[in-house]
Amino acid sequence: MGTRKINILEHELVPQHILLSEEESVKLLKRMGVSKRQLPWILASDPVAKALGAKPGDVIMVVRKSPTAGLAVAYRYVVRG
């Protein structure tokens, strides 16, 4: 059983994920007027979170292609699990 490591972040079907810096995420939270917990969540064990090296408490920005809007931006709060 040979396991070949592939970088899922480069896969065509995986939208672009960007790990935000602390300053960036604070700016985002201020803009949206929410606390981190009130963002949608992603598990730290999610393959994409692992690939980015995200730790619980981080915020990930997701830029995906949208049939309605062209490009759509969303954010995920990384939680334990």
Per CB under 8 A, residues contacting another protein are: 32-35, 37-40, 66, 68-69, 72-75
* SS3 label, residue 43: strand
Smallest distance, another protein to C-beta of residue 23, A: 19
Closer residue to another protein, CB minimum distance, 1 or 69: 69
The DSSP call for residue 25 is H
**C-beta closer to another protein: residue 50 or 64:** 64
Picking from 32, 81, 11, the residue whose alpha carbon sits closest to that of residue 61 is 32
Phi/psi of residue 40, nearest 5 degrees: -60, 150
Q: Which is nearer to another protein, 49 or 77 (CB)?
A: 77
